[in-house]
């Protein structure tokens, strides 16, 4: 990018990559995970934020499965909410 357009072109590319990454990380990823796990999107979003904060990249990968496992072990489900 530097050879084609100079320093400003590099800055534009970095801003573009940052915006795309933010959209994917904070909006699309929680939406996809909540659809597959039947968790509310707020819970999915919060799990991803906390697990990334405490475990880094690995937290993003294993945060949702660990949370689902804990819900299963504690026998927590939201099926009663839908029956009412």
Question: What is the per-residue pLDDT across 28-44, written as a single tens digit (0 to 9) for each?
Answer: 877 777 777 788 888 88
Model pLDDT, residue 15 = 94
> Does pLDDT of 77 surpass 70?
yes
pLDDT band at 81, cuts 50/70/90?
low
pTM exceeds cut of 0.85 = no
Tokens 């970095």 locate to 14
Give the per-residue SS3 of the chain: CHHHHCHHHHHHHHHHHHHHHHHHHHHHHHHHHHHHHCCCHHHHHHHHHHHHHHHCHHHHHHHHHHHHHHHHHCCCCCHHHHHC
Share of the chain above pLDDT 70, in %: 88
Model pLDDT, residue 43 = 86
> Does pLDDT of 76 surpass 60?
yes
């Amino acid at each position: 990018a530097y050879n084609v357009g100079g320093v400003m072109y590099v800055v534009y590319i970095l801003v573009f990559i940052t915006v795309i990454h933010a959209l994917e990380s904070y909006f699309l990823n929680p939406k996809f995970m909540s659809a597959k796990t039947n968790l509310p999107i707020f819970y999915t979003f919060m799990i991803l934020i906390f697990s990334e904060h405490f475990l880094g990249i690995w937290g993003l990968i294993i945060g949702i499965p660990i949370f689902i496992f804990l819900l299963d072990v504690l026998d927590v489900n939201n099926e009663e909410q839908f029956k009412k």
